[in-house]
Amino acid sequence: MRLFLCEKPSQGRDIAKVLGANRRSDGCLIGPEITVTWCVGHLLEAAPPEAYGKHLKSWSLDHLPIIPQQWQVEVKPKTAAQFNVIKRLLSEARTVVIATDADREGEMIARELLELCNYRGPVQRLWLSALNEASIRKALSSLKSGQETFPLYYSALARSRADWLIGMNLSRLFTLLGRRAGYEGVLSVGRVQTPTLRLVVDRDRAIASFVSEPYWEVDVHLSSMGQPFIASWLPPSSGSDEAGRCLEQALASQTVEAIFSSKTATVLSLQTEHFREAPPLPFDLSTLQEVCSRKLGLGVQETLNIAQALYETHKATSYPRSDCRYLPESMFNEVPTVFDALLETDPALRPALGSLDQSLHSRVWNDAKVTAHHAIIPTSELANLARMSEQERQVYELIRSHYLVQFLPHHEFDRTHVELECGEERLTAVGKQILVQGWKGLLYENTEEDEPNQKAQALPVLQQGTHCAVDDVELKSMRTAAPKALTEGDLIKAMKNVAKLVNDPRLKQKLRETTGIGTEATRAGIIKGLIDRGYLLKKKRALIASAAAHTLIESVPVAVTDPGMTAIWEQALDEIEAGRLSLDAFVAKQVNWIAQLVASCGSLTLAMPIEAGPVCPICDASMLRRKGKSGPFWSCSHYPDCKGTVPIRKDTRRP
């Protein structure tokens, strides 16, 4: 029997349909000489510390560091029945085809089962980027060898063990140090979550320490041949800061009077530049999350859930957890089929599709830049828009439009910079003339953020020596603005582009070659975890770090909170995947590092904020306010040793 091992039931049903495995059985679908079964995500989990010794169930500094000599995994109780189904099927299988998600976590989900169940037969790999029938048939015709993707398993295993070592040891260490300081909550520390938390804490600090300063601008309303435009005053260096802002109100007021008195401004020079803006590339996951956060107000986990539903349930888009924004050259031949499916899915697209050039070969078609997955794009499957929720349709239309603009020309425009003289004062004006609307006729996306409005103004015909009338002069009182609080989309972007925060040139270059903090598949979960633990608080769209989060970041060693270091760890996982670093060598380095941290931090004194709560009805310990699926509740501060809870009434914080 040939066994196909999928990651989720929906994935299993799609593959079984193509394979002709239509007979239902317990936890699987059966066909001629073929059985399709599925996991429910991870069926196994890393064993807790107490699995390596009963004495480790209690939290004590004397037990740290906890270093497993022989790593163990356990079957998750909630999915034990499906594990038993897979275990039985593996004992009967002659060949296994791994059909889990095409990434390192998908590889681990399957391989850890093969390992625990002692399967030693042949292994092949089904590598899917979309779950529509055409994509499945194409992948079935070109199965990879199991050996080809095996390094992905070691990479995921390294990630899992590093997370365990850091999370179990440092969370216990700092929780115990916090209790010593009177804080009874659990202080969770993670290999990725803690540097991510620091990004928000640093932004909070920048906002809190910011001192707003006044400055003044002078806008001059000019006209030439009856056509008005606006120029800005260029203050002298003696009265301005490094950003060219005038800091002296008296100087700005004197300038207004002087310009009024001059009545005319003369053009000193003009410089026109021609610009061609290529269409924005299709999405990878993080860019999709950024855009959906900014345009639709969606959380990053919400966006991932929607993208996953568009991929799995609706078959409307390709694999969502991609870190790539390019497409393989071979997919260019599929363009007419995709267009036909889009038109049949949404007939209202006909006018827009009629303006597109299907023969246009944009920069998106680039084999050299395609990673394990290609960009997120519409599939050639006929989708049912009526079955999509409003948010699903909005995200789908964003993905669709970023694919369609590849078949429109560049947006072209001229930008003219003008320098003028008005008495002894210097002015500057910027104008923009659109020559080819191009892709912006279908998708407007401002590629120059916070561009002043006057940069888009139309200038009259000017030349050197042209005299322009001064129609009005406007003195504007301004204040420097504090940095904005991060949104979830901003945080995703910061996690991905962490190289910008690093000064070391060699480290910066290495970081540019990696994906930053976390991966496309894990970033949303990291942010959600920080929110659920109460480290991050949401105020409308803004993220703010809690008092406990600030104290934790101040107390944890810089090496743990440093985003650059975390990104280097991610790079090490890529090295394992590429076969250039062994799993054992990586884990050994983590073990040594953890031992050093525990030794150096054991005597720290934390200044933790204390949050009072009611008394636990089970053990009489204090309780902490936590947030669950059904809202906030009081939880015993000795969790997980004590699982006492008390509900919070709607009209008060106290029970």
Report d(CA 176, CA 181) in Å as an integer.
9
Structure-token pair, residue 433 = 């003339």
Structure-token pair, residue 7 = 């990651």
User: Do the beta carbons of residue 389 and residue 313 sit within 8 Å?
Assistant: no
Instruction: Give me the residue label for tokens 């936890």.
Output: 27
Strands 623-628 and 542-545: unpaired
- What are the backbone dihedrals phi and psi of residue 584, each rounded to the nearest 5 degrees, phi first? -65, -40
Structure-token pair, residue 465 = 């020596």
Say which of 153, 319, 403, 535 is annotated catalytic. Answer: 319
DSSP, collapsed to helix, strand or coil, labels residue 578 as coil
Which of 41, 11, 20 minimizes the C-alpha distance to 311? 11
Residue 319: active-site member: yes
CA distances from 16 to 5, 93, 262, 614 (A): 11, 16, 82, 54
- Residue 100, number of CB atoms within 10 A of its CB: 25
Which of 587, 637, 598 minimizes the C-alpha distance to 615? 637
CA distances from 479 to 410, 419, 482 (A): 37, 26, 10
User: Do the beta carbons of residue 232 and residue 270 sit within 8 Å?
Assistant: no
Judge if the upstream peptide bond of residue 77 is cis by omega within 30 degrees of 0. no
**Hey, what amino acid is at 215?**
Y
Alpha helices in 380-468 (DSSP H): 390-404
User: Sign (positive/negative) of CA torsion 68, 70, 71, 76?
Assistant: negative
Sheet of 645-647: strand order equals 623-628, 631-636, 645-647
User: Do the beta carbons of residue 6 and residue 37 sit within 8 Å?
Assistant: yes
Number of residues that this document lists for the chain: 655
Judge if the upstream peptide bond of residue 640 is cis by omega within 30 degrees of 0. yes
Report d(CA 35, CA 28) in Å as an integer.
7
- What are the backbone dihedrals phi and psi of residue 351, each rounded to the nearest 5 degrees, phi first? -60, -40
Per DSSP, the chain holds a count of helices (H) and strands (E) of 19, 20
**Terminal alpha carbon distance of the chain:** 58
Report d(CA 551, CA 157) in Å as an integer.
32
Report d(CA 374, CA 371) in Å as an integer.
7
Strands 411-422 and 264-277: antiparallel
Which of 491, 334, 342 minimizes the C-alpha distance to 404? 342
For the annotated catalytic residues, the residue numbers are 319
